[in-house]
Structure 1
């Protein structure tokens, strides 16, 4: 649906059942260019780390009314791309993104590969709306790169956790309620009102109910701007029980570190479950999350990567 904030194109990873590293956004603050520039909405706005979908926020790109409008980021090195996330404009004309294509490759030409059967080792990511005269606006483009695993194919995915019911172990004040982490807003400034916050307590936790059982391939977490090390050591659990100690619950990942204000992508090896829990073990801990996104995964394969 067009109202979904982040459209996520994920290239599924073929894994061997071992833990996998979180994937960082390699497009952040990289070199950009676009077909034209409307007023002050230049191409660098698409990789500035600001995910606000309101054009007046100054966080979005905007072309003139071009034939085949396009935008491109140079990652400055060749990466193995696993996912591309696009934040669409949210205040108006959200339908303008319809028909856009994501092209990736090592060439500046806009006929870069779109073949999902290939492993995408690429330097350039291009967003283009071909065959039409239109304005194009992008409020953020994130490119997540994998160092291991094999790409099986690609599909358009939607955030399963968006607007679902969330609960947490406690709530500090009236602003940091659990639902803030699934509101579709990745604003990492707590004062903006889009982050959760527990009291200082032993083993704080946060949980979302996806309502149905899904095969989960990815969990993406946005860390708070003001708490650089706040999520260090946190664990992501998936299962069909609200209790992570139940035998069917599986730990997807341990968060070693997410830089402040950034979103990191955690492959979860296609685990089935209804509940996704973020658990922070230890005493006198505070858990604060600015967004938790959950995406489909493929059934696990038996062959080794």
Structure 2
């Protein structure tokens, strides 16, 4: 009898718990892992889809809260690109840290000594270029400048996009001009779907060092 009583009691408890779970409102939280993942990601994607093309983040603070939304629409094309530059900083101490590819390694570390920034010599009209391997429609480009010093060096740099390698790609159409700001290390530039395989950054007409800690290029493949 005691065993039968315990079985009946256990059945009543379990049945009551199941009924309570079924009556929970959806607002109390997702009931499955799939629903949880969907609810977690949907606000970001919905926000990205509703963004106007003119509303890309322009500061590091804005990028921190909004940059992830770009992932829903576009990919960082630069990650699969091939980078080169006018020269590599000649230095026994820093030379190995100065390669052009450092600017497309996916690392946003803005301290040059950490080894994730590109750096030229003190050249006349120094330039940096990435080959995206095929033409794309470029929506926007995010540039991360040096944070440890010398951010003003990037002031006046031209961002160029096109399919020509004339003058190392430095004759292609201009997307934007950088206005360097020590308080705004990461900036976003809207390129309005300009089409090109090559993206150049050049400090035209001046003798200066050109350094870039990350160049992110977002867009879609150009269809023929």
5 Å-filtered alignment, 1:141-220, equals: 142-143=64-65, 155-173=72-90, 174=95, 175-220=97-142
Distance change (3 Å), C-alpha of 1:223 and 1:260: farther
Does structure 1 conserve the Cα–Cα contact (< 8 Å) formed by 2:160 and 2:170? Answer: no
Structure number with the bigger relative contact order (C-alpha 8 A, sep ≥ 6) is 2
The corresponding residue for 1:103 is: 43
The corresponding residue for 2:200 is: 277
Give 3-state SS (helix, strand or coil) of 2:207's partner: coil
The corresponding residue for 1:222 is: 144
TM-score, length basis structure 2: 0.65
The corresponding residue for 2:218 is: 295
Residues paired across the two proteins, number: 169
Distance change (3 Å), C-alpha of 1:119 and 1:271: closer
Gaps of 5+ in 1: 1-66, 69-96, 105-112, 121-139, 146-152, 300-305
Does structure 2 conserve the Cα–Cα contact (< 8 Å) formed by 1:258 and 1:264? Answer: no
Post-superposition Cα deviations, 1:16-48, rounded to whole Å, max 9, x if no partner, equal xxxxxxxxxxxxxxxxxxxxxxxxxxxxxxxxx
Give 3-state SS (helix, strand or coil) of 1:103's partner: helix
Say which of 256, 260, 266 aligns to 2:189.
Answer: 266
Task: Please give the alpha-carbon distance, in whole angstroms, between the structure 1 residues aligned to 2:47 and 2:83.
Answer: 37
The corresponding residue for 1:84 is: none
| Greater share of residues in strand | 1
Give 3-state SS (helix, strand or coil) of 2:103's partner: helix
**Structure showing greater Rg:** 2
TM-score, length basis structure 1: 0.49
The corresponding residue for 1:52 is: none
Does structure 2 conserve the Cα–Cα contact (< 8 Å) formed by 1:214 and 1:274? Answer: yes
5 Å-filtered alignment, 1:74-89, equals: none
Task: Please give the alpha-carbon distance, in whole angstroms, between the structure 2 residues aligned to 1:191 and 1:245.
Answer: 28
Task: Please give the alpha-carbon distance, in whole angstroms, between the structure 1 residues aligned to 2:114 and 2:184.
Answer: 13
Task: Please give the alpha-carbon distance, in whole angstroms, between the structure 2 residues aligned to 1:261 and 1:188.
Answer: 12
Give 3-state SS (helix, strand or coil) of 1:142's partner: helix
Task: Please give the alpha-carbon distance, in whole angstroms, between the structure 2 residues aligned to 1:196 and 1:115.
Answer: 33
